[in-house]
Each structure stands twice: as C-alpha cells, then as structure tokens.
C-alpha cells in the first residue's frame, strides 16, 4: 500500500462527486485528513471553503446545501473534530438537508490502543446519519476504482434524495499521508461525456395526463417549510389563486405571495368565532407543518375536512394524525392536477381576505414608528429585494417573521434552521448560504444565538464572504418572557434569560466587520444595504408587552368583523 493508491482512489471519488453535481466542500485543518482535503482542494469543479472550527464548518455546509439545493461535502480529521459535526448533522437530518460527511479516521491497528486522537467513529452520528459506510482506500486496482466511483454516486444520491439528509463516510487512513511521486493517470476514467458513474433517473410523476380531481369550493392551501425547490412555492401560489383558496403560507415555504395569501393566519385562527366560521371541506397541505401554533391546533381540530398531504419526501408531517390522503408524487404535478377544474366561490375567499386586512391594519397601526423586534421583521420583508435571501434564527425572529413578513409581494427567499429548532450554528449557516447564493444575504438573529456562534464570524474575513447580520439585542432570550418560567424572579434571569452584556461592536472589530447601531427604521433601511453587523437594541419586557398589545388589537379587529359583533355594535 502506498499514498499513491489512496490518492488515486480519492481523486476518483472526488471526480464522481463533481460529476454528480457537488459544487462546494468545507474543510478543516488536521493531519489524518490530509489526503481527503487535498483531493477535494485539487478537484477543480469543487469549491473548497476552509474553516478552523468543525462545528461552524458543518453548519456552513448546511447553509450552502440549503441555498444551493444540492449536497455539500464536509471533511475533518479524527477524534473530537468529527464529534463537532453532530449538531449540524442532526439539524440536516431533521430539516432534510443533503450533506456528505467525510471523516478521517485512524486505521484499525491504531484504535483502542492509546494512539492519539482515536475515538470510535463507527456510526458516530447514530440515526442522525441516513447512511454510514467505512471506506477502505488502501489498494487501487481497476476493480476498487470502479467501486469507489460507484460509492461516491451512492453517497451523493443517498444524501440528495428520498428524503434528503446527511450521509457519513468514515475513511481509515494510513501513513504516508502525502504523495512522494506525481499521481499517474486514472486506469478507470469516468464515464464518457462527463456524467456520473451511476445516473439517477427521475421517477415519472404519478399524475395521468389529462386527469382531473374534483375540488370543493371551501378549501384552503397550507404551505410549510420547503427550502429546496422554488418551483413548488410558485406552483402552490398559482394553485391557490386558480381555486380561489386562501393560502396560509409560512415564509419558509417560498409560497407566501399571490392574491390569495393570508399573512395573519396566526392571529385569525386564535379567534374561535372566526376559526369556526371558516372550517373548510378540503385542506391541501404542502411542505412541513408551519411554525404557527394556532394553525397547527386548527388543522388538528378540523373534524369534517378532507386533508391531503403532498409529501414527496415521505416526511409524515402530521402529529395530530388527521391527514387522510398522502400523495408521494411530484407536488408541482399534483397541484397542477388539483387546479384543473376550479369552481371558486368569491365569498369564501372574501371572508378570509377581509379578516386578514382588518388584522394587518391593526398590527401595522400598533407597530407605529418605533424600531421594535416585529417592526424589524416587517421592514426587512418590505425592503429586501426578491433576489435577496433572508436567513432567520430560531426563537422570536422566526416567529415574528411568520406573522410580520408581508404576503402581498414576492418575498426574498427565507431560510431557517427549523429541523431541530436549535439556536446553534446560525451565523455559520448564514455564511454558508452566502457562499452558495447570488443575491445579498441578510441574517436576522437574537443576541444569544449570535453569542452562541460568535466564532462563525471568522468566515467574513477568512473566506471573503459578505453577510449582513441584523442582531436584535435584548440582552438575553426574549422568548422566555412568554413562558410561565418568567415568573421565577432572579433564577429566571440568571439561568433562563441569561443576560450577557456583550458589546457586539467589539466583536465586529475583532472579526474585521463593519458595525452600525440602528435606532430608526430609516437607519436600519440604510444599514442593511452593506455587509457587517447592524445592532438594534430592544428590551425583553417591553417586547412582551408590545406583542400582547398587538395580539389584542388585531384580535379585536377580527372580532369586530363577525356578523354577531356587527349586529350588536351601534357603529356597524
Ligand atoms: C442549541 C440550543 N440551545 C438552547 C436552545 C433553547 N433556546 C431556545 S430560544 C433560546 C434563547 C434565544 O435568545 P436570542 O437568540 O437572544 O433570541 P430571543 O429569544 O431574544 O428572540 C434558547 C437558549 C436551543 N433552541 N438551541
């Protein structure tokens, strides 16, 4: 066995990844992974991004895979380096993001004998990885070169499809780890024409040509997170418009636009009278379940409605077990079929639209001119161009985005780590998104989430990437004020809210980023045009009070629309 065998095999492996369509790989420094990272770096079709911190690296890869919609590779040395990939692998599994994780390992003779940096890496990520394989790269023969080409395709296609997710390939590597002679020609070049060793053909759509499906007049379309395919969001909005169905679309669905989109469903469905009046006969569900609790509760309680789930990934997003029909085919084809024979009832949509207008009016009046947390979400949705990407952190930013991002215009693309709802790795994810996106990328994040991944800021300078980070700094976890635990006094403050008093201007200076403090909407609008950190300071207690006032005002506006309220009110 020589380094030449290892490098021949890894060159063929990387060649196949590139032939399949892999464009980005993240590397981290180390000795044992030298053959892996050099083989990736020498493959001209793969762009490599170097990261010091493996946790940041894997989240960066996650962001790049979300933005690019195809697998991204990530490679590191053995030991705790590989263990640092776990949070991002878990998120990728739950959010169905394709990652090809390539860990270097000690060969068997160096395991469990006290050799350095040797831990048990076999199935290190447990069930979080879709597939695990231990890859021997000691002997390059024509047979093993064909095998490794097939293996690379299998890893890529397994990550990319049915449903997408992370795959883990572990490479025991023996010394010498560098070449001592030029690498010879590959005795098994890839397929002629540049295609991969194993092609994957798309299964044909299940929809019979010319077929139709009857739809009732009272229906709704519910669209949740679908971050990979922009065409699904477009098809969802088109189908809802044709059928005259209100569209309840989470911003992560890519479908929150068009004439039937209802921006404030989260408020409307909290009003029991309204929720009851608008019980539908059919619910067409696409993508994951939206974040909104009132919407989830409403769907769970719909007794008489037929619920159809378009579920190409077999993700089974139905915790209340109310879905009666699952369509595993291509959602675009199914939506087209569903909207072939529309029989819209304008009064049905009008009831939803009038309530939505009333609630939106109350929310916007209630927001006033102050630069509050929901006002920032609203303004970003209004101001960012359609070619921008808005990455939204977990906690209150994603909740504010769901209610306050507008629904009347094409939104920027909205992405968020909602597979496992962690606040970790968010900065690194957003830099990964920036690496694989064309337009500007803006991250909306709370101060605790920013502090958690502050090391991720290194990507700006080290990798030369532009990202605008809007941090809502309420000095702690504002979301916890909405929970009963907020009544627990000093212990709540110290152990749950966790104020830190960090000065983000100094973090910006350390990482060589521009820093702006925005106190007005105009200052925010100006600052988000440039990369760097834009800090908006808010107060956790005031934020809670504002959310309560806004909820009360919008609910009152919806209640005032109900037939009984109108009859009772002398002003009506
Ligand atoms: C990795 C991880 N640790 C802990 C949590 C629990 N958690 C949820 S929200 C939150 C606080 C977030 O605070 P911040 O980012 O400032 O946003 P805000 O609540 O102020 O909107 C925490 C710690 C989590 N979701 N993920």
DSSP 336-374: HHHTSS----HHHHHHHHHHHHHHHHHHHHHHTTS--HH
Q: Is ligand 1 within 6 A of the CB of residue 417?
A: no
Looking at residue 204, its pLDDT comes to 40
Query: Which of 477, 481, 485, 541 to probe ligand 1 with, by most ligand atoms within 8 A of CB?
Result: 477
**Ligand 1 geometric centre to CA of 422 (Å):** 7
Q: Residue 517: which H helix or E strand, with range?
A: strand 515-517
Q: Whose CA is nearest to atom 9 of ligand 1?
A: 395
Cα of 246 vs its chain's centroid, Å: 25
| Ligand 1 nearest-atom number relative to CA 540 | 20
- Cα 478 to ligand 1 centroid, rounded to whole Å: 8
Counts for the chain of helices (H) and strands (E), in that order:
22, 17
- Quick one: angle between helices 54-68 and 426-435, nearest 10? 50
Per-residue pLDDT tens digits for 105-122: 999 888 888 888 889 999
Q: What pLDDT is recorded for position 440?
A: 97
Three-class SS of residue 537?
A: strand
Residue of minimum CA distance from atom 11 in ligand 1: 477
The predicted-structure confidence for 405-431, as pLDDT tens digits, reads as follows: 999 888 899 999 998 899 999 999 999
- Please report the pLDDT score of residue 539 as a whole number: 98
Enter the tokens of residue 554. 């919008």
CB of 477 shorter than 6 A to ligand 1: yes
Report CA Rg, the chain: 26
Cβ of 421 less than 6 Å from ligand 1: yes
- The rounded Å distance from CA 394 to ligand 1 centre is 7
The residue to mutate among 423, 429, 500, 502, having the most atoms of ligand 1 within 8 angstroms of its beta carbon, is 423
**Cα torsion 298, 302, 306, 307: sign:** positive
The CA 476 to ligand 1 mean position distance, Å, reads 9
Between helix 3-20 and helix 142-160 the angle, nearest 10°, is 40
Is the shortest distance between the CB of 479 and ligand 1 below 6 Å? Answer: yes
Cβ–ligand 1 distance for 396 under 6 Å, the answer: yes
CA of 448 to the centre of ligand 1 (A): 6
What is the CA(125)–ligand 1 centre distance, in A? 23
At 395, phi and psi to the nearest 5? Answer: 85, -145
- For the CA of 421, the closest atom of ligand 1 is 25
| Spatial CA neighbour of 254 closest among 277, 272, 229 | 229
- Longest pairwise C-alpha distance within the chain: 92
Q: How would you write the pLDDT of the chain (572 residues) with one tens digit per residue? A: 689 999 999 999 999 999 999 999 999 999 999 999 999 999 999 999 999 999 999 999 999 999 999 999 999 999 999 999 999 999 999 999 999 999 999 998 888 888 888 899 999 999 999 999 999 999 999 999 999 998 999 999 999 988 899 999 999 999 999 999 999 999 999 989 999 988 775 444 444 455 567 789 999 999 999 988 889 999 999 999 999 999 999 999 999 999 999 999 999 999 999 999 999 999 999 999 888 999 999 999 998 899 999 988 878 888 888 888 878 788 998 999 899 888 889 999 999 999 999 999 999 999 999 999 999 999 999 999 999 999 999 999 999 999 999 998 888 999 999 988 999 999 999 999 999 999 999 999 999 999 999 999 999 999 999 999 999 999 999 999 999 999 999 999 999 999 999 999 999 999 999 999 999 999 999 999 999 999 999 999 999 999 999 999 999 999 998 766 555 444 43
Closest atom of ligand 1 to CA, residue 476: 16
- Enter the pTM of the model: 0.89
Pocket-testing residue among 91, 395, 497, ligand 1, by greatest number of atoms within 8 A of Cβ: 395
Enclosing H/E stretch for 552:
helix 540-559
Ligand 1 and 400: CB distance under 6 A: no
How far, in Å, from the CA of 445 to the mean position of ligand 1? Answer: 10
Question: 449 C-alpha vs ligand 1 centroid, how far in Å?
Answer: 6
What is the rounded distance in angstroms from the CA atom of residue 401 to the CA atom of residue 252? 9
Indicate which atom in ligand 1 lies nearest the CA of residue 450: 15
> Which ligand 1 atom is nearest residue 451's CA?
15
Question: Ligand 1 within 6 A of 447 CB?
Answer: yes
């Amino acid at each position: 066995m020589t380094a030449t065998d290892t490098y021949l095999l890894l060159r063929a492996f990387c060649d196949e990844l590139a032939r399949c369509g892999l464009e980005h790989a993240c590397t981290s420094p180390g000795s044992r992974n030298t053959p892996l990272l050099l083989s990736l770096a020498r493959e001209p079709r793969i762009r490599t991004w170097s990261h010091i911190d493996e946790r940041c690296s894997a989240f960066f890869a996650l962001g790049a895979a979300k933005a690019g919609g195809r697998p991204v590779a990530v490679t590191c040395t053995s030991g705790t380096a590989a263990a640092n990939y776990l949070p991002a692998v878990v998120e990728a599994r739950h959010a169905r993001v394709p990652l090809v994780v390539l860990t270097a390992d000690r060969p068997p003779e160096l395991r469990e004998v006290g050799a350095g940096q040797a831990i048990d890496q076999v199935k290190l990520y447990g069930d979080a990885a879709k597939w695990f394989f231990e890859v021997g790269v000691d002997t390059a023969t024509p047979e093993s070169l064909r095998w490794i080409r097939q293996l690379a395709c299998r890893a890529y296609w397994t990550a990319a499809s049915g449903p997408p997710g992370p795959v883990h390939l572990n490479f025991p590597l023996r010394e010498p780890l560098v070449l001592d002679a030029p690498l010879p020609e590959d005795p098994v070049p890839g397929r002629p024409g540049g295609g991969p060793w194993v092609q994957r053909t798309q299964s044909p759509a299940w929809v019979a040509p010319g077929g139709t499906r009857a739809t009732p007049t009272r229906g709704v379309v519910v669209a949740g997170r679908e971050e990979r395919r922009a065409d699904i969001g477009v098809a969802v909005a088109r189908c809802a418009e044709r059928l005259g169905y209100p569209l309840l679309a989470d911003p992560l669905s890519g479908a929150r636009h068009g004439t039937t989109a209802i921006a404030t469903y989260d408020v409307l469905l909290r009003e029991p009278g309204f929720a009851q009046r608008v019980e539908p006969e059919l619910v067409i569900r696409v993508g994951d379940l939206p974040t909104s609790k009132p919407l989830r509760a409403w769907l769970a309680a719909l007794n008489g409605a037929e619920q159809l789930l378009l579920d190409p990934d077999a993700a089974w997003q139905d915790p209340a077990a109310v879905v009666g029909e699952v369509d595993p085919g291509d959602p675009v084809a199914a939506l087209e079929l569903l909207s072939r024979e529309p029989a819209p009832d304008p009064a049905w949509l009008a009831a939803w639209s009038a309530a939505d207008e009333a609630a939106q009016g109350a929310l916007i009046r209630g927001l006033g001119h102050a630069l509050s947390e929901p006002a920032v979400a609203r303004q970003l949705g209004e101001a960012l161009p359609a070619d921008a990407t808005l990455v939204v952190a977990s906690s209150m930013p994603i909740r504010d985005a769901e209610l306050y991002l507008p629904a009347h215009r094409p939104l920027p693309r909205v992405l968020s780590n909602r597979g496992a709802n962690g606040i970790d790795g968010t900065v690194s994810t957003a830099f990964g998104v920036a690496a694989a996106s064309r337009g500007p990328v803006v991250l909306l994040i709370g101060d605790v989430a920013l502090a958690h991944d502050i090391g991720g800021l290194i990507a700006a300078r080290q990798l030369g990437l532009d990202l605008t980070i809007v941090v809502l700094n309420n000095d702690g976890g504002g979301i916890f004020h909405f929970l009963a635990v907020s009544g627990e006094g000093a212990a709540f403050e110290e152990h749950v809210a966790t104020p830190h008093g960090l000065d983000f201007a100094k973090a910006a200076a350390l990482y060589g980023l521009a820093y702006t403090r925005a106190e007005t909407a105009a200052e925010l609008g100006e600052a988000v045009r440039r990369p760097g950190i834009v800090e908006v300071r808010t107060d956790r207690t005031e934020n809670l009070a504002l959310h309560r006032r806004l909820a009360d005002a919008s609910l009152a506006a919806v209640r005032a629309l109900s037939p009984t309220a109108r009859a009772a009110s002398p002003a009506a």
